[in-house]
Amino acid sequence: MEDKKTLFSAVQPSGTPTIGNYVGAINNFVKLQDEYNCIYSIADLHCLTVKQDPQSLKKATYELMALYLACGIDPEKCIMFVQSHVPCHAELTWVLNTITYPGELGRMTQFKDKSRTHQDNVNMGLMDYPVLMASDILLYNTAVVPVGADQKQHIELTRDLALRFNNRFGETFTVPDGIFPKYGAKIMSLSDPTKKMSKSDENINAYVSMYDDTDTIIRKFKKAVTDSDNKIVFDPENKAGISNLLTIYSVFSGVSIEDAVKEFEGKGYGDFKLKVGEAVAEGIKPITNKRLEIIKDKAYLNSVMIKGAENAYRIANRTLRKVYKKVGLYKAEL
């Protein structure tokens, strides 16, 4: 690999990815692939922390790899792999667990939220989720991690664990930085613009899936909750719904938010919502066409996954051996 910094990120194959995942993460994965040595994972082990239908999880994993490729992530430039194909992730998690305190995991906003929404299944994995995420990142000497704003706390914990380990056992891990998109780091729900758009929302009108067709996308934007004063201005605090739509429009049309505000000056919300829906549908259409092509080619998709896992394993295993040595695990050699 060239002398570039390493970048790592991942998306969970839990349900269908939304335009929030695209704007907050995948779209930036594509943009950053020339500047860094990029490693993009599909975090299937993370998914097990909430109840999954095994068949759906399997399908979603395969489909997410097709989406990565359809969005323009290039397997010749980046390492693309499925987390569970590289056993080092689970192994490093065990070691990092021994320097992590239950208090710091219990404080995590995502853990508290998911404990509330999945009351029937508050399991140890849900609590340990951020340690597995730290392992993902630290195995690859990662310098930067592009994620949406909701992952800020997990990146902070990753930094704390890297520093704690380095202090106790000597310089081992690179301490990573999170990078967040300037606009769109938190795309909001279309039915409640005070809430994050989430693929696990039970109301399907709350999110636009990357797998939705043109009519569905336009219908969902028509229904988007806004306010009643009919002014199109960018003010996320007081006009969350309209500002969210402006952000989405800007990302999908390539027009800046300032220019979008000018474009819609004096127009009604109905017109505006239709234009946003059309821009998103137009942006998603070529991705969908490509995705449906790629999905048919199982041999190609599997070969990308296998090559990715081999390349990832080579790097991850080197780090894991170093960690085992530092903490004093005996290695038998002849």
The minimum distance between CB 322 and ligand ATP, in angstroms, equals: 27
Distance separating alpha carbons of residues 311 and 305, to the nearest angstrom: 10
Distance separating alpha carbons of residues 118 and 331, to the nearest angstrom: 41
Residue 258's φ and ψ, nearest 5 degrees, are -60, -45
Q: Give, as one character, the DSSP assignment of residue 150.
A: G
Distance separating alpha carbons of residues 325 and 44, to the nearest angstrom: 28
**Residue whose beta carbon is closest to ligand ATP:** 24
Residue 16 interacting with ligand LTN (CB under 6 A): no
The minimum distance between CB 154 and ligand ATP, in angstroms, equals: 9
Residue 187 near residue 197 (C-beta atoms within 8 A): yes
The minimum distance between CB 226 and ligand LTN, in angstroms, equals: 27
Active-site position among 196, 220, 273, 275: 196
Residue 188 interacting with ligand LTN (CB under 6 A): no
Residue 132's φ and ψ, nearest 5 degrees, are -65, -40
Active site residue 275: no
Considering only 113-121, 129-137, 192-200, 222-230, which stretch makes contact with ligand LTN by CB under 6 A? 129-137
The minimum distance between CB 120 and ligand ATP, in angstroms, equals: 17
Cβ-based nearer residue to ligand ATP, 75 or 148? 148
Cβ-based nearer residue to ligand ATP, 89 or 199? 199
Sign of the Cα torsion 238, 115, 145, 168 reads: positive
Among 151, 198, 209, 247, binds ligand LTN (CB under 6 A): 151
Active-site position among 59, 112, 152, 199: 199
Q: Which residues pair with 144 in a beta bridge?
A: 7, 177
Which partner, ligand LTN, ligand ATP, none, binds residue 159 by CB below 5 to 8 Å per kind?
A: none
Residue 240 interacting with ligand LTN (CB under 6 A): no
Active site residue 199: yes
Residue 186 interacting with ligand LTN (CB under 6 A): no
Residue 213's φ and ψ, nearest 5 degrees, are -90, 170
Residues 30-59 that bind ligand LTN (CB under 6 A): 43, 46
Cβ-based nearer residue to ligand ATP, 93 or 165? 93
Non-local (6+) Cβ contacts of 129 within 8 A are 46, 49, 108, 110, 111, 154
Give the count of beta carbons closer than 10 Å to the beta carbon of residue 293. 12
Residue 8 interacting with ligand LTN (CB under 6 A): yes
Q: Would you give the distance in Å from CA 158 to the centre of its chain?
A: 16
| Residue type present at position 78 | C
Binding site for ligand ATP (CB under 6 A): 11-12, 14, 20-21, 23-25, 147-148, 150-151, 185-187, 196-200
Cβ-based nearer residue to ligand LTN, 6 or 243? 6
Residue 48's φ and ψ, nearest 5 degrees, are -65, -10
Which partner, ligand ATP, ligand LTN, none, binds residue 224 by CB below 5 to 8 Å per kind?
A: none
Active-site position among 114, 186, 220, 273: 114
Residue 206 interacting with ligand LTN (CB under 6 A): no
Distance separating alpha carbons of residues 279 and 20, to the nearest angstrom: 15
CA 83 vs CA 42, 146, 149, 174, 293: distances in Å: 6, 17, 22, 20, 24
Residue 275 interacting with ligand LTN (CB under 6 A): no
Among 6, 7, 10, 241, binds ligand LTN (CB under 6 A): 10
Total interface residues for ligand LTN by CB under 6 A:
12
Q: Give, as one character, the DSSP assignment of residue 202.
A: S
